[in-house]
């Protein structure tokens, strides 16, 4: 945005307020009030991004849209961070801390069934296969909100006692171009490895996620562990192939696998102390055999492990490995267990959460709630491992749709556009309140 346009926007804002009222307003008051002027822009951006979704590590169009907007606001912009990510710095007019704000950009391999005028008809390559693509988790809303926040804060940059780092992250849902093996990082973890929280060093980071489980404009928050860690579980059971009519001549990995699956149900319910934090172990796929009368030599299973505590995670992983290996051995088979960490536990720093809660209550007129633990996972966790973080949930379901709204990741998932304004207010006010408290 040019200086002329910025001046024009400022004059329009001043013209709408008595000078005495303007003088009495705090910086946070103004960014909250000014958010309404950006609401329609944000809605337009969301609809455009929703209609043109892109999978993890393929967000080139989205990244270009973001980068151009940030450059017009006069920011220093870096592209290609963490594969396709965009990072921009807004330097305030006064010295102070650095706040980071994060939005994820990627969509999901889901065929949209919303009937919206701006519904997606896009297809992209997902792990080598052409798939329909949809913003079924609301990342289009995250991007649109943060683009509006960038414009909101840029308009008051000279009064900011510190700086703001905008992080538009790819591949939160995982890469679409390769299968993660635990070695080649993606998304937030890759951006952290590349130094996104350094030069200048970030003092605190804020992020949000839309949810269909809460009414429009309501904010859910939680102090401490908030979202679960996630590990991909891979178990390969090896037996000895033989004719199905003569099982005594071989070792049946299918029977051994069935016993392992049954045994795994006791890992959490009978063998893990869940008082520190709950845990979940689920087997999602099982594959083995080629013909009805052949006992195969191998069976492969995959699943997920979720916990809210690093110590519990290690204990559960050890119990799974022991259970699988010993159960297979009892059948004369062998089990190989591999657990790959996809996401760490998302932990909201308690002191930061307590400090910023009044801001969240203010922008929602008190419409906040303490979120339950969420067994879904988020790679915002890797940012929050390095610096104090606060990650909260923004309700996006209209009042008349509560109780029947499709959940996140559904082909029918909907975002009420009216929720965007609350998101803009929240991230803008969190930034100014944090910076001013340190001034």
Mean pLDDT computed over 104-130: 98
Q: Is the pLDDT of residue 80 over 80?
A: yes
In angstroms, the CA 178 to CA 345 distance is 23
Domain covering 21-226+345-438, topology: Aminopeptidase (3.40.630)
Tell me the mean pLDDT in the region 374-392: 98
CA–CA separation, 35 and 31 (whole Å): 6
Helix 39-51, helix 60-72: angle, nearest 10: 160
Average pLDDT on 345-367 reads 98
- Which helix (H) or strand (E) segment is 206 a member of? strand 204-215
* Confidence label for 85 from pLDDT (cuts 50, 70 and 90): very high
Q: Which residue has the tokens 């070792």?
A: 251
Residue with the two structure tokens 């579980």: 233
Indicate if the pLDDT at residue 22 is higher than 90: no
Return the active site residues. 106, 172
Query: What residue ranges of the chain are covered by domains with CATH 3.40.630.10?
Result: 21-226+345-438
User: What is the predicted pLDDT for the residue at 311?
Assistant: 87
- At 262, give phi and psi (nearest 5°): -65, -45
Q: Are 428 and 152 in contact (CB under 8 A)?
A: yes
Average pLDDT of 103-126? 99
Are 226 and 374 in contact by the 8 Å Cβ rule? The answer is: yes
Residue 1 in this model has a pLDDT that exceeds 50:
no
Beta strand pairing call for 94-104 and 161-169: parallel
In sequence order, what are the residues at sequence separation of 6 or more whose Cβ sits closer than 8 angstroms to the Cβ of residue 116? 50, 414
CA distance 299 to 250: 14
**6 vs 327, more confident:** 327
Output 7 or 115, whichever has higher pLDDT. Answer: 115
Percent of the chain surpassing pLDDT 70:
95
- Rounded to 10 degrees, the C-alpha dihedral 369/375/377/381 comes to 60
pLDDT band, very low/low/confident/very high, at 25 (cuts 50, 70, 90): confident
Please tell me the predicted confidence (pLDDT) of residue 229.
96
The pLDDT of residue 20 is: 34
Average pLDDT of every residue of the chain: 94
Residue 25, strand partner residues? none
pLDDT band of residue 15 (cuts 50, 70, 90) is: very low
For 112-121, the pLDDT digits (tens) are 999 999 999 9
C-alpha 339/C-alpha 302 separation (Å) is: 10
pLDDT of residue 371: 98
Q: Is the pLDDT of residue 84 over 70?
A: yes
CATH fold for domain 229-343:
Alpha-Beta Plaits (3.30.70)
pLDDT band at 439 (very low <50, low <70, confident <90, very high): confident
Alpha-carbon span 123 to 53, nearest angstrom: 9
Q: What is the CA radius of gyration of the chain?
A: 24
- Distance CA(305)–CA(368), nearest Å, equals 30
What's the pLDDT score for residue 374?
Answer: 97
List where CATH 3.30.70.360 sits in the chain: 229-343
pLDDT tens digits, 296-324:
999 999 999 999 998 899 999 999 999 99
Residue 13's pLDDT is what? Answer: 34
Please tell me the least confidently modeled range out of 60-69, 219-228, 268-277: 268-277
Lowest mean pLDDT among 12-21, 142-151, 316-325, 393-402: 12-21
Q: Please tell me the predicted confidence (pLDDT) of residue 98.
A: 99
Q: Does residue 436 sit in helix, strand or coil?
A: helix
């Amino acid at each position: 945005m040019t200086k002329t346009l910025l001046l024009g926007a400022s004059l329009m804002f001043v013209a709408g307020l008595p000078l005495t009222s303007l003088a009495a307003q705090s910086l946070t008051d103004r960014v909250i009030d000014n958010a309404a002027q950006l609401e329609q822009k944000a809605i337009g951006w969301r609809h455009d991004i929703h209609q043109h979704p892109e999978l993890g590590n393929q967000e080139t169009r989205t990244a270009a849209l973001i980068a151009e907007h940030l450059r017009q606001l006069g920011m220093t912009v870096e592209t290609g961070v963490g594969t396709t990510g965009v990072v921009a710095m807004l330097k305030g007019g006064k010295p102070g801390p650095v706040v980071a704000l994060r939005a994820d950009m990627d969509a999901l391999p889901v065929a949209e069934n919303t009937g919206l005028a701006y519904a997606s008809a896009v297809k992209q390559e997902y792990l080598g296969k052409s798939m329909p693509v949809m913003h079924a988790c609301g990342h289009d809303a995250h991007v649109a909100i943060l683009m509006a926040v960038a414009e909101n804060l840029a308009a008051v940059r000279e009064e900011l006692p510190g700086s703001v780092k905008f992080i538009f992250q790819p591949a939160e849902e995982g890469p679409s171009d390769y299968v993660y093996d635990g070695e080649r990082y993606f998304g937030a973890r890759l951006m952290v490895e590349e130094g996104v929280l350094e030069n200048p060093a970030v003092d605190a980071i804020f992020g949000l996620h839309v949810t269909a489980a809460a009414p429009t404009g309501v904010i859910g928050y939680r102090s401490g562990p908030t979202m679960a860690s996630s590990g991909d579980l891979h178990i390969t059971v090896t037996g000895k192939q033989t004719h199905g009519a003569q099982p005594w001549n071989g070792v049946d990995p299918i029977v051994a696998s069935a016993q392992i699956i049954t045994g795994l149900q006791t890992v959490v319910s009978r063998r893990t102390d869940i008082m520190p934090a709950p845990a979940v172990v689920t087997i999602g796929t099982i594959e083995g055999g080629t013909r009805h009368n052949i006992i195969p030599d191998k069976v492969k299973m995959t699943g997920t492990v979720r916990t809210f505590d690093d110590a519990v995670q290690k204990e559960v992983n050890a119990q799974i490995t022991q259970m699988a290996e010993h159960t297979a051995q009892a059948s004369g088979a062998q089990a190989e267990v591999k657990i790959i960490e996809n996401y760490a536990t998302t932990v909201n720093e308690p002191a930061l959460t307590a400090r910023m809660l009044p801001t969240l209550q203010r922008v929602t007129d008190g419409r906040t709630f303490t979120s339950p633990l969420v067994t879904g996972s988020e790679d915002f966790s890797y940012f929050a491992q390095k610096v104090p973080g606060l990650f909260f949930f923004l309700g996006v379901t209209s009042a008349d749709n509560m109780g029947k709204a499709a959940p996140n990741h559904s082909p029918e998932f909907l975002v009420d556009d009216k929720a965007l304004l609350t998101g803009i207010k929240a991230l803008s006010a969190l930034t100014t309140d944090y910076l001013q408290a340190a001034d």
